[in-house]
Amino acid sequence: MKNRVLFNIIVRRYGLWIGAFLLVLITFFVVRSRRAAELDWQFVRAFGIRLPMRFGIHGIDVSRHNDRINWERVREMEADGVRLQFVFIKATEGATLADKHFEKNWREAKKSALRRGAYHFYHPTRDPLKQANNFIRTVDLSEGDFVPVVDFEVINGQSDETIINGLKLWLETVEEHYHARPMIYTNGNLYKRYIKGNLDEYPLWIADYSAKHLRNYNPDKLYLWQHNQSGWVHGIRGQVDFNVFVMDEYRLKDICL
């Protein structure tokens, strides 16, 4: 229907033959642009997944579930011109828990010259101030590290008000300690319900495995995109979450100390 309307408009303005030629030309460029968009994704056999190649800074995130990691092999891995350049490491969870591999992962990631970041898994049923202090006790950040991250992916039956106010208290407490604005990691549904319109001032790291585009998120605040959870990396057992930095490369400093 849209093509028919467009054709009629062109014919009325330019005549039948010129109109037909212009329509063919427009169709050609539309198809080519769609194919170009598809070519942004490239299957990388070594990683076992497709990577969005229009972005140049790729990384992963890990936790105790990845067991012991050989960080030298992680850093040395290169496939189809892609090297991993950053890693986010789980540090804490709730009010008291610390990831059993955090200290070693944190130390070895730096030795491997990967830009590193630490995240806290947030539980809305736990005291947000105690959760913030759990992270602060566990994580020492250095210049060049990523800002702190709160991993928000469960609601545990809590009210919208409880969740939003709790997250805000965690973020403000951590920001005051590190003198850096933290980043929020979440998925598309939770972003729309709790973050958008309430915590828009914070940098965003979104998990969205079905996205063909990222138009649903604030382009001024979206820095990281977790696009796949099924990658493979030398030196790590099992599947790994893959992320990419979606801003212009000079904006990387916005989310680093």
Which residues form the catalytic set?
A: 61, 153
For 83-111, the three-class secondary structure string (H helix, E strand, C coil) is EEEEEEEEEEECCCEECCCHHHHHHHHHH
- CA 231, 234, 235, 237 torsion: positive or negative? positive
Instruction: Residue 117: name the closest of 174, 77, 52, 196 by CA.
Output: 174
Residue 192 three-state SS: helix
CB 190 within 8 A of CB 159: no
**Residue 197: HSE in the Cβ half-sphere, 13 Å Cα cutoff:** 5
- Amino acid 106 reads W
Q: Which residues contact 237 (CB under 8 A, 6 or more apart)?
A: 66, 67, 68
CB 103 within 8 A of CB 140: no
Helix H or strand E encompassing 205: strand 204-207
Residue with structure tokens 């649903």? 216
CA distance 45 to 53: 14
Helix H or strand E encompassing 34: helix 16-39
- Amino acid 54 reads R
